[in-house]
């Protein structure tokens, strides 16, 4: 068959269709959206303690109408707080938002994380979530305050997930100087937050369970919005030593003690340390006595819950130590920080009722002084040495290791978690700043790091971290059974009294005539010795007499004017004569 030519077939001599079709594509402009772009989800965090300070740890996490609290600790007062027993956080923000609070989670059983719980429960009764040992220690505190029956305690363990409103929290096992410590993975619609709690990376822990780095790394792969990390040891290079090194040191030191009685002072909450002392004491065929209420409570709770392995008949009552030779005794005591009322301090100054130390004692202080306590510890060491006692306290003996991560461990955690934002917590300003520099060395930008302080209220989203406002925070002082009734005015008066003493002006005035019936008498306490300063006292008496006669009005009885004038004039006289300013207390009575 012959091939037919087509009009467009050039080879067949046909002509192309001269008409061409052109197709144009016009860009269609869509109407602009009338709705603004959807804002990124955000989570809020309020710092009520543990920032720019050591201790008193307390943080509030918030998402819309749901809030939960992390930790509720105390701080111990320094010399600037005379007479104060404890310092607790300000709970005003918690009370204000009680309808939104879904619970309180505790990371571990140290005082700076659980010490304030009883005071919080007196104001708001909320569920408390904590691990087994931590619950046991909390129960002891609540029992002292008569709150155990009404408290809502929920026992949790690592890998557990807790749902508190919009938050789902997973507990992650960490190493610390007390068992059952956990970090938190906090999940909410805004993203994942990681809070390490107090931690270190111990590859040979006494309790056998290494920190769960794998789980932290898994969250790092998922994407972490912000990391809150313990800053306590951010100034220390390298790695924190394993707790097992202390056990090895104890073996050598117990051998070196020979036939002397051994006294070991340690932190009351360091159950690992207590276990190692008991183990070495058993090997040395020594009995163990425990002194200090908090330490006795720890041993009791630890043994009951299975965290302490105490061989039968090794523990003896402190009253029975007189029945044993020194070479067969170990005394574990509180007072490693030189606290004035602690057992070790009383022993050093010869004031303990049950233990009298002598040159035949061998004292081991198994702790490092907390910043600010160095002088008190030094005083105790000096007093013990004056009594001819050998004291082991230097770092070279490795009788203490920290429970907190040093720089290389901190960097490792940052590296495996890979957060978008980094927030150093738990430390003074110098610790937080050093921790921030570590993060920068890991590649974090300054904009991705937030250094806060107590009272800060921040909002975190994918877009960044911003300050919202400040919340009520600060320090509430516990003095005896009083909570919050000691403020700056009272403390200033106490400081004034401790520095310059007190002058009391006592006078009795006739109500009708305004004449002085008795006095004025000048009483000095802590200012000068009256018998050696009779001229000064007489001058003060004459001045007080003149002021009362000139100022007192029997018609109007304006006591405030008289007392104010007495304070001003006598204070001026005392400073002029002695260059000291005692507190002036006028006591005026009418008859």
Active site residue ranges: 230, 404
CB burial of residue 29 (10 Å; 0-12, 13-18, 19+): exposed
Q: Which helix (H) or strand (E) holds 69?
A: strand 66-70
Q: Which helix (H) or strand (E) holds 500?
A: helix 488-500
Nearest to 335 by CA among 261, 257, 264: 264
Asked if the bond preceding 181 is cis, omega within 30° of 0, the reply is: no
Do residues 476 and 483 make contact, with C-beta atoms less than 8 angstroms apart? yes
Q: What's the gap between Cα 162 and its chain centre? A: 24
Nearest to 45 by CA among 26, 24, 61, 56: 61
Q: How far is CA 580 from CA 326, 502, 565, in A?
A: 52, 11, 18
Q: How far is residue 367's CA from residue 173's CA, in Å, rounded to a whole number?
A: 24
Please report the DSSP string for 98-138 in residue order: GGGEEEEE-----HHHHTTHHHHHTT----EEE-HHHHHHH
| SS3 assignment, position 2 | coil
Do residues 88 and 115 make contact, with C-beta atoms less than 8 angstroms apart? yes
Give the largest Cα separation in the chain, rounded: 153
Please report the DSSP string for 147-198 in residue order: -TTT--EEE--TT-EEEETTEEEEEEE-B-SSSS-EEEEEEETTEEEEE--S
Please report the DSSP string for 325-358 in residue order: -GGGEEEEES-TT--TTSHHHHHHTT--SS----
Q: How far is residue 241's CA from residue 461's CA, in Å, rounded to a whole number?
A: 37
Helices assigned H by DSSP within 225-342 = 244-257, 271-283, 293-304
Q: What interhelical angle do 271-283 and 293-304 show, nearest 10?
A: 80
Kindly state the tokens that stand for 430: 């110098």
Nearest to 357 by CA among 340, 343, 369, 337: 343
């Amino acid at each position: 068959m012959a091939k037919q030519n087509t009009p467009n077939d050039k080879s067949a001599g046909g002509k192309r269709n001269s008409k061409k079709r052109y197709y144009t594509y016009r860009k269609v402009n869509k109407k602009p959206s009338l709705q603004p772009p959807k804002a990124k989800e955000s989570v809020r965090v309020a710092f009520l303690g543990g920032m720019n300070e050591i201790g008193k740890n307390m943080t509030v996490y918030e998402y819309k109408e749901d809030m939960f609290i992390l930790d509720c600790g105390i701080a111990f007062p320094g010399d600037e707080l005379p007479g104060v027993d404890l310092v607790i956080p300000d709970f005003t923000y918690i009370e204000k938002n009680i309808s939104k609070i879904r619970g309180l989670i505790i990371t571990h059983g140290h005082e700076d994380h659980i010490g304030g719980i009883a005071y919080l429960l007196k104001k708001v009764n909320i569920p408390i979530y904590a691990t087994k040992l931590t619950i046991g220690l909390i129960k002891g505190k609540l029992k002292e305050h008569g709150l155990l029956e009404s408290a809502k305690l929920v026992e949790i363990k690592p890998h557990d997930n807790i749902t508190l409103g919009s938050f789902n929290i997973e507990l992650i096992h960490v190493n610390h100087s007390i068992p059952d410590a956990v970090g938190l993975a906090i999940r909410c619609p805004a993203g994942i937050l990681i809070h390490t709690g107090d931690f270190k990376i111990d590859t040979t822990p006494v309790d056998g369970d290494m920190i769960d780095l794998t789980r932290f790394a898994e969250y790092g792969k998922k994407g972490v919005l912000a990391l809150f990390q313990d800053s306590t040891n951010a100034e220390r290079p390298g790695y924190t030593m394993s707790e097992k090194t202390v056990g090895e040191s104890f073996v050598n030191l117990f051998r070196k003690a020979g036939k002397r009685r051994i006294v070991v002072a340690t932190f009351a909450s360091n159950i690992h340390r207590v276990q190692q002392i008991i183990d070495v004491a058993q090997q040395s065929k020594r009995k163990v006595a425990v002194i200090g209420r908090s330490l006795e409570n720890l041993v009791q709770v630890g043994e009951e819950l299975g965290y302490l392995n105490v061989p039968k008949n090794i523990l003896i009552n402190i009253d029975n130590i007189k029945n044993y030779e020194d070479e067969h005794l170990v005394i574990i005591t509180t007072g490693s920080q030189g606290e004035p009322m602690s057992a070790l301090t009383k022993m050093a100054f010869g004031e303990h009722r049950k233990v009298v130390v002598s040159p035949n004692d061998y004292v081991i202080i198994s702790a490092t002084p907390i910043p600010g306590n160095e002088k008190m510890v030094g005083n105790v060491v000096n007093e013990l040495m004056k009594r001819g006692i050998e004291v082991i306290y230097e770092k070279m003996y490795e009788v203490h290791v920290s429970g907190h991560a040093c720089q290389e461990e901190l960097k490792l955690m940052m590296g495996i978690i890979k957060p978008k934002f980094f927030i150093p917590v738990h430390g003074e300003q110098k610790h937080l700043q050093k921790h921030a520099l570590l993060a920068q060395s890991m590649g974090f930008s300054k904009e991705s790091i937030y250094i806060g302080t107590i009272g800060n209220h921040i909002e975190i989203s994918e877009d960044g971290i911003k300050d919202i406002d400040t919340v009520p925070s600060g320090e509430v002082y516990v003095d005896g059974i009083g909570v919050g009734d000691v403020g700056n005015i009272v403390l200033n008066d106490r400081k004034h009294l401790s520095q310059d003493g007190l002058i009391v002006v006592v006078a009795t005035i006739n109500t009708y005539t305004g004449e002085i019936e008795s006095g004025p008498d000048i009483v000095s306490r802590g200012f000068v010795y009256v018998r050696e300063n009779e001229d000064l006292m007489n001058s003060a008496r004459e001045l007080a007499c003149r002021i009362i006669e000139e100022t007192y009005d029997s018609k109007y009885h304006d006591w405030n004017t008289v007392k104010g004038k007495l304070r001003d004039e006598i204070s001026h006289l005392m400073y002029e004569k002695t260059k000291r300013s005692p507190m002036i207390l006028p006591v005026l009575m009418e008859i």
